[in-house]
Amino acid sequence: MTTMAPLLDPDEPNPVMLENESGNSVFFLTCDHAGRVFPRRLGRLGLPEAETLRHIAWDIGIGGVGRELSRLLDAPVILQTYSRLVIDCNRDPKVPSSIPEISENTEIPGNRSLDETERAARVDAIFRPYHKAIGAALDRRAAADRVTALVALHSFTPVFKGVWRPWHVAVLFNRDPRLAHALAELLRAEGGLMVGENEPYRVSDLTDYTVPVHGERRGLPHVEIEIRQDLITDPAGQREWAERLARLLPSAYAAFLGR
């Protein structure tokens, strides 16, 4: 059996940023695709820098929304530091697209023909510590009898493979649509927003990990939220969307409890 040095050196960024854990809110926020750091040992996976700034590398704007929403709700937020091209932290590592060889139309040279050891190094260094941290934080809340609703935050590119996406925001769900439906109703009532439900993506066990594992399996109320990236590229847009969600999420949760 071959063994490999750990992927990350001790001086490299931690894959997990857990902030405001003691916040009072029922909401627990996650940003699986917040970061776009590349481990030193992998270079940029053979990509020109411009590609690493695009949506294929990270969820543009969502870290800013997550942090501001955490502040406004007084909720914990957990953010992942490394580019999702290194390993997608919202996908089961057993699924081939967990480490994509191609993303949208871009080939990722550094992900081509990886062997099991190379894949395992990414799982061990990034995916596993991130999800272990989420699981441990949720365990601590359960042990303290704290009620939790999981909110998985993402952003999507306005144009994918040449096709324009009209939705401003979307709620995604799979087995339990309750909190998602409640939030969608409130988003629609804002006026002027095109609200997707399970489009342009839907939650599934093959394309998602955080909601199926930490929301569904624990029986926690949950919603996955997708915001279109051009709306949250700059801090003003991030603040606007954080303020909107800070206003609507508590009402959506109250409606969920009343159902």
Choices 32-40, 48-56, 209-217, 246-254 (CB under 5 A): range interacting with Zn ion: 32-40
- 33 touches Zn ion (CB under 5 A): yes
Chain centroid to Cα 183, Å, comes to 18
Nearer to Zn ion, 35 or 76 (CB): 35
- 176 touches Zn ion (CB under 5 A): no
- 91 touches Zn ion (CB under 5 A): no
Judged by CB under 5 A, which of 36, 45, 59, 215 binds Zn ion?
Answer: 59
**Residue 251: both structure tokens together:** 């009402």
Distance (Å, whole) CA 29 – CA 114? 32
> Least CB distance from residue 210 to Zn ion, whole Å?
9
Q: Which DSSP helix (H) or strand (E) runs through 128?
A: helix 128-143
Residues 110-169 that bind Zn ion (CB under 5 A): 154
> Least CB distance from residue 203 to Zn ion, whole Å?
12
Coil, helix or strand at residue 150: strand
Q: What CA dihedral angle connects 126, 84, 209 and 225, to 10 degrees?
A: 130
Q: Which residue is nearest to Zn ion (CB)?
A: 154
> Least CB distance from residue 90 to Zn ion, whole Å?
6
**Residue 180: both structure tokens together:** 């998602």
DSSP-assigned letter for residue 174: S
Nearer to Zn ion, 62 or 246 (CB): 62
Using alpha carbons only, give the angle 15, 19, 20 rounded to the nearest 5 degrees: 165
Residues that bind Zn ion (CB under 5 A): 33, 59, 154
